[in-house]
Amino acid sequence: MTKPSTGDFDATSGGVGDRIGRYRLLRTLGAGGMGRVCLARSEGGRTVAVKLIKPELAAEPEFRERFRLEVAAARRVSDRWTAPVLDADTEAETPWVATGYIAGPSLEHIVSPQGHGPLPAPSVRTLAHGLACALLDIHGAGLVHRDLKPSNVLITIDGPRVIDFGIARALDAIPGSTPTSSGMLVGSPRFMSPEQLRDEPVGPAADVFCMGTVLAYAATGQTPFGGGGSGGVHAVMFRIAQEEPDLTGIEEPVRGLIADCLAKDPAARPTPEEVVARMQPVATGTSSPPWLPAQIIAELGRSAVQLLDTDTPPHASAMAAPVAAAYVSSPAPAEPAPTSATSSAASLVTWEEPSASERSERSEWGTQVVPRPDHGRTEPTPSPRPRRAGRGRRTAIVLAAAAVVAGGVYAASAADLQLPYAGSESASTSGDDGGVTSDVPKEFVGVWAGEVERDGKPTDQYRRFVVSSGQVGEVVATSISLGENYECKSDGKLAAKPSGGGTSLRLDTKVVSSVPSGSCSALGEHVLSRTDGDSLRWEAAGRTAELHRIKGPEELPEELLGTWQRPLANGGTQRMTIERTAVGSPAATMVSDGGGEHCEADMNLVSVGDADSPARFAPPAIDRAASSGACLRGGSSTLRTEGDTLVRELADGRRLTYTRV
C-alpha cells in the first residue's frame, strides 16, 4: 500500500493524502478520538469513508491486535442497516479501514436547531425499528457498538443506517499505564449506559440503553437526562446512573419502549428482537407514505447531489482545500444509498437445535429486499451543448428527489411497509444518460415462491425469494426456507453478471437468522434461471424448485385476523392472535395456560396464501423470559378457515382447530 506522510495524519493538517490502498482521498469528513475520517473514491468509482487511526494508538501493540480482531468481526455484519466494512489494512504503519458511504445527514444534524427539529411520532417509530434491526446484525456478529449516538446514525430515504460500530472496543486493549489511556472513556457521556459510566463489563444491553437515549433525542430534541447545566457532564452522568429519564412530550407506544430501554438494570431492558416486534411500523394501505417529512427528503436529494459534485482529483496537488461536510457530522458515514431499496430485518429468534441431518438442508435470510420500483424516472432531454461527465446522473437524482417530495413515490421500505410495486415487474434502470444501471435483468425482479424437490421428489420444504435490482457484489436477493421444524433466512449477493443472455443469476448466500437459532448453514451457490412462462427455476446443492411470481400486495386474509382459542389436553387453553404484518415478521402470537405452565410464543409469517393454498407460518419462537414450564415446541404450520373455525395444520399432519374469541 502507499504510505502517506506523517503530516497527512496530523489533526491540525488541512490537506489529505494522495492514496490509501486503492482509494484516493477527496476531503476530510471529521476527526475523533481514534483518528480522522476522509471521503475517498476507489479506482472503480465507488465512494467510501476511510478511517485513519492516530499514530499514537497504532503504536500500541495491544490496540493494534484488538483493532485487527474488531475489523474482522465488523466484516461479518450485514450491510442492510449499517455501513459495511469494505477494505482494511490493519498492518500498515497507520492502520485504516474503509466502509461504505451514505450521502445522508446524521440524526444529530436532522434534529438539531440548525436542522429540522424533533421527528414526528411515526418517524420515531420507524427509527426505533431500524436501529433495533441494526443492533441485531451487529450483536449477531459478536460485537457491541458501545458508542450509539445521533452522530453515528445516518438518515436515508430507506431507513436509518448505523455507523462506527465495534471498532471503538479496540481502545479497551490499551494498558492503563500508557499515556494514551489516561482519562480515556469509550463513548459519549450523554448517550452512555450506566454500566459504561461505572466501567463495568459492557454487553448488548448497553447498546439498547443508548438506543433509548437516541430515540428520546429524536422525539424531543433533548437528551432524557439533560444537558448538564451548571453541573456539566458529571451531573449528566449522575442522572444517567441514579435518576429516572425525562420523557415529557413523547407519545405512546414509543414512550413506553424508551422507558423500558432506559432501565438501570441491563437484564430488565428489552432485547433488540423485542424492540423489532414492538415497533413494527403500521401500514396504512398498499401505498404507504415516506417515513420522513418532505423537507428532510428534499435534503437527502441535495446531499446526494453534493456527493456527485465531488470530483476525484488526479493527484494530491490537484486537490482543493477540504470542504466542510454540510450534512455529515459523524466521522464515519455509510454506503451509497441509490443501489437498492430494502426493508426492515425480520425478528431474530431463539429456538432449539434440530438434528445434524436437518442442518445441512438449510439456508437463511435476514432482511427482506423490496423490489426497487421504477419510480417513473424521467430521462432528461439531451442537451445540444457539451456537458461534463456525471451531469445526467445528477439531474436524474434531482428529478427522483422531486418526485419523492411531490408524490411520496418512495415508501418506507426500511420500515417493512409494503411498496405498491412489491411483486411486480419493476424494471431495472439502464440508459446512456447517467441512470443507475442494474446487473439484474428486470425479468428477475419481484417476489417468487415454490415447493422444493430433491431428485425429483417433494421434500415438504417451501422457498421464497425476493429479487431486487442491484449490481455485482451487492445483496440483490433475500430468501426464506421453510421446513417441518425450521425457518431459515439468507441474503444473496450477485456473484457475477448474468450469463446465457441474461437467463440466469448466480448468488452467493450468507446465513443471517434461523428458527431454531444456529440451525442453518448456507447451501453454497444458488442459481435462478428463467423458464417458459412467469416462473423461475431455483437450484442449490441438489435441490430444485419452480418458483412462481407473487403479484400484488401480500396481506393475510381478513377472515384469519383476530383472536382465536382452543382447549388443551391438560385442561387449559391456548389463545392465538393473528395480525397483518410483513412477510418474514411475527404475525401470530400464542399464549397457552394450563397444567401449571404459562407459555408465550410468536410465529413468523412466510406466505399469506391464496385461494388455492393456506397461509404458511414458521415454527413458534418461545419467549422464555415470559414463559414458565417446559413449553414444548411445535413445528411449521398452515392456517386457513373452515366456516367459523380456524384450522392450524402442522407439518407432521396434526390438525388443530380454534374458535373465534
Residues belonging to the active site: 147
CA distance 334 to 368: 20
622 in Cβ contact with 631 (< 8 Å):
yes
Report residue 87 CA to chain centroid gap: 20
Q: Do strands 597-607 and 573-578 pair parallel, antiparallel, or not at all (unpaired)? A: unpaired
Amino acid letter for position 245: P
Pick from 200, 510, 178: nearest CA to 186: 200
Which set of grid coordinates corresponds to residue 402?
A: 422531486
Q: Which residues of 622-641 are buried (b: 16+ CB within 10 A; e: fewer)?
A: bbeeebeeebebbbbbbbbe
Q: CA-CA distance, 36 to 55, in Å (whole number)?
A: 11
Q: How far apart are CA 166 and CA 145, in angstroms?
A: 5
Which residue from 172, 112, 560 is spatially nearest to 296, judged by alpha carbons?
112
Phi first, then psi: give them for residue 131, nearest 5 degrees. Answer: -65, -40
- E strands along 105-236, which residues? 153-156, 159-162
Return all residues near 308 (Cβ < 8 A) that are at least 6 apart: 390, 393, 394, 397
AA identity, residue 188: S
Instruction: Give residues with Cβ within 8 angstroms of 182, minimum separation 6.
Output: none
Residues 6+ apart with CB under 8 A from 562: 577, 578, 660, 661
Q: Give the dihedral of Cα atoms 205, 210, 215, 216; nearest 10 deg.
A: 120
d(CA 349, CA 354): 15
